[in-house]
Copies of this chain bind each other. A is one copy, B any other.
Amino acid sequence: MTLLTHFNTGDTAWVLASAALVLFMTPGLALFYGGLSRSKNVLGIMMQCMFCIGAVSIIWAVFGFSLAFGKDVGGGIIGNLGLAGMGSNHTLIPGLSHLAVSPLAFGVFQMMFAVITAALIAGGGADRMKFAGFCVLIVVWTVLVYVPIAHWVFSPNGWLAHQGVLDFAGGTVVEINSGFSALGLAIVLGKRHGWPREAMVPHSVPIAVAGAGILWFGWFGFNAGSAGAANGVAVHAFLNTQLAACAGLIGWLIIEKVTTSYATTVGAISGAVAGMVAITPCAGFIGTMPSILIGLLAGLICASAVKLKFKFGYDDSLDVLGVHGVGGLIGTILLGLFASVAVNHGGANGLFYGGGLHLLGVQVLAALVTAVYALVVTAAIAKLLDKTIGLRVSPDDENIGLDSSQHAENAYSIGSSQGHR
């Protein structure tokens, strides 16, 4: 148990704890999504989330990390295979030589990001995807969608990074990406039978609350861990995450109260998630009060955006676009206004902090590029798979539910074997 290398122990402790927290978010998402689903489709969505952990992690370790963070093959489009297998504690990641922690720690932390982004998009196609089709989809999507975008933005050699885009913890790479990928998936799959006529309401809000609690908890690792060290930037990111979540929660409840005269529990947890989504790109770059403002706006706007699907007729079952897509856009773009080097010397100043329009322009560019790329490529992959191996279950199987038809399971069994006196 001797030391191999001499990274700062406090930074290492924080990054490892953060990586564990981000991993925890995906089972949390499984509960969040599962609770919001109907009781015949609970395991379908949970299984998809769990599968994403399994498959995406292995892809990431074997070559995904390398494609994302390896030496650029030119033009900032994609990395090479030099980091295949993830290397060791001594490996050098191009452009990230100043990491406070082991490159392996950085790599595993980033692995968890790829995992949850993949799991998020499952929400757009909930209740009607073949499990086998989903498995193939997610593998292809990770390689063709996630990895390139991660390279563009997170690798210092990516082309968007070169433009000076700021994305602290994945407003583009994770949030806009998952939101618009889910939209592409939802469009290709088509509407669920009965939607939107039939009420498709959560089968267990307490389970969704449990999931949201885990997401909230994990998001501290997601955002504050993205500082890559246990430093003052991490502290800012931590505090901002909390405040944006809280303001998002309040914002969503305000919209609900005004439009329906009720404030709901699902609204509260959705608002908190929306706030955290929006603060994700900003967490380590902006001050405390702007964070409250961005969170509040995210709550107000996302609570309205989730209704767009009824207007435009796409069945984004679990509102990935409405919460992650829209929330990601809000945060990514507003960062162009509120970024401040007073908070983070490594960042930039936004419009309101004397930085002019440059940052805002880059942020808008990155947001749009990510949205369009994710939407188009994901839709294309989904279409191709649907035409070949089939992506949508049969009407009968949809009727019975994914749990039974895809997995030969029931979420709840209180059947004949329940013996009482």
Q: Which residues of A contact B (CB under 8 A)?
A: 1-5, 7-14, 16-17, 19-21, 23-24, 26-28, 30-31, 34-35, 38-40, 42-43, 46-47, 50-51, 53-55, 57-58, 61-62, 85-86, 89, 101-102, 104-105, 107-108, 111, 131, 194, 198-207, 209-210, 212-214, 216-217, 220-221, 224, 227-236, 238-239, 242-243, 245-247, 249-250, 253, 260, 262-266, 268-269, 271-272, 284, 288-289, 292, 343-346, 396, 399-401, 403-404, 406-415, 417-421
Contacts and interface: CB of A to CB of B under 8 A. Distances in A.
28 contacts: A2-B346, A3-B229, A3-B232, A4-B232, A4-B344, A9-B231, A13-B13, A13-B17, A16-B234, A17-B17, A31-B213, A46-B209, A50-B249, A51-B253, A55-B250, A57-B246, A102-B232, A108-B238, A201-B410, A201-B413, A203-B413, A203-B418, A205-B410, A213-B214, A260-B408, A264-B408, A400-B421, A404-B420
Nearest to A44: B265
Max chain B C-beta neighbours (<10 A), residue from A39, A242, A396: A242
Contacts of A5: 231-232
A369 B197 CA distance: 58
Contacts of A54: 245-247, 249-250, 253, 268, 271-272
B407 A419 contact: no
Nearest to A14: B13
- Ranked 5 nearest A-B pairs via Cβ: A9-B10, A27-B213, A4-B232, A10-B10, A13-B14
B400 A420 contact: yes
Given A10-B10, A20-B238, A206-B412, 9 more contacts: A1-B229, A12-B230, A16-B224, A31-B209, A53-B245, A55-B250, A57-B242, A58-B292, A102-B232
Max chain B C-beta neighbours (<10 A), residue from A4, A104, A200: A4
A200 B24 CA distance: 29
B89 A232 contact: yes
B9 A265 contact: no
Contacts of A399: 419-421
Given A242-B108, A266-B409, A221 B20 contact: yes
A235 B46 contact: no
A280 to B, nearest CB: 15
A250 to B, nearest CB: 5
Max chain B C-beta neighbours (<10 A), residue from A104, A107, A238, A249: A238
A234 to B, nearest CB: 6
Contacts of A289: 85
Contact of A246 (B19, B24, B58, B284): B58
Contacts of A61: 239, 243, 288, 292
A43 B404 CA distance: 27
Contact of A40 (B104, B410, B418): B418
A352 to B, nearest CB: 16
A410 B201 CA distance: 9
A213 B28 contact: yes
Contacts of A288: 61, 85-86
Given A102-B235, A217-B20, A419-B400, A409 B58 contact: no
A290 to B, nearest CB: 11
B407 A421 contact: no
A313 to B, nearest CB: 20
A322 to B, nearest CB: 19
B247 A58 contact: yes
Given A10-B8, A12-B234, A288-B86, A417 B201 contact: yes
Contacts of A105: 235, 238
